[in-house]
């Protein structure tokens, strides 16, 4: 999968007090790697990821990143181990930590991160 295959939408789709229907968004998703910013909470954003396949190795030098799986199974490869997340499980990746998310099956997750984060990150070569 190349960076061009990532469908990343950083615009905020829902304002405060609007209903966010995650099952509807999931049902309408037809691409293997989809990321949509749902809403902003203070200085952070909540993003929805609907993913299958591998993302690239990268890090975020200035930002922590929280992953929470709703359905499916997410593997987050680190340089020394892999964190496996099933439904209703989450983890925080420390800023500057090289990582690669991947999903062998369609996986739906929420991510909480700063609004200014670049999801592509600093790419490992």
pTM score: 0.91
Mean pLDDT of the chain: 92
N residues, the chain: 125
Q: C-alpha angle with apex 68: 117 to 79, nearest 5 degrees?
A: 70
Q: Report pLDDT digits (tens) over 33-55.
A: 999 999 999 999 999 999 999 99
Q: List phi, psi (to 5°) of 37.
A: -70, 120
> CA torsion, points 52, 54, 57, 59, in degrees to nearest 10?
0
Separation CA 113–CA 25 (nearest Å)? 20
**Domains of the chain by start residue, with CATH:** 3-123 (2.60.120.10)
Separation CA 122–CA 101 (nearest Å)? 14
């Amino acid at each position: 999968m190349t960076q061009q295959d990532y469908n990343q939408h950083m615009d905020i789709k829902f304002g405060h007090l609007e209903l966010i229907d995650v099952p509807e968004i999931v049902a309408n998703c037809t691409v293997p790697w989809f990321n949509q910013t749902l809403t902003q909470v203070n200085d952070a954003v909540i993003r929805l990821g609907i993913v299958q396949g591998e993302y690239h190795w990268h890090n975020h030098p200035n930002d922590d990143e929280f992953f929470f799986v709703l359905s499916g199974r997410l593997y987050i490869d680190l340089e020394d181990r892999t964190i496996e997340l099933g439904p209703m499980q989450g983890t925080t990746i420390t800023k500057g930590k090289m990582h690669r998310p991947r999903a062998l099956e369609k996986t739906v997750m929420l991510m909480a991160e700063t609004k200014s984060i670049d999801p592509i990150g600093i790419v490992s070569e």
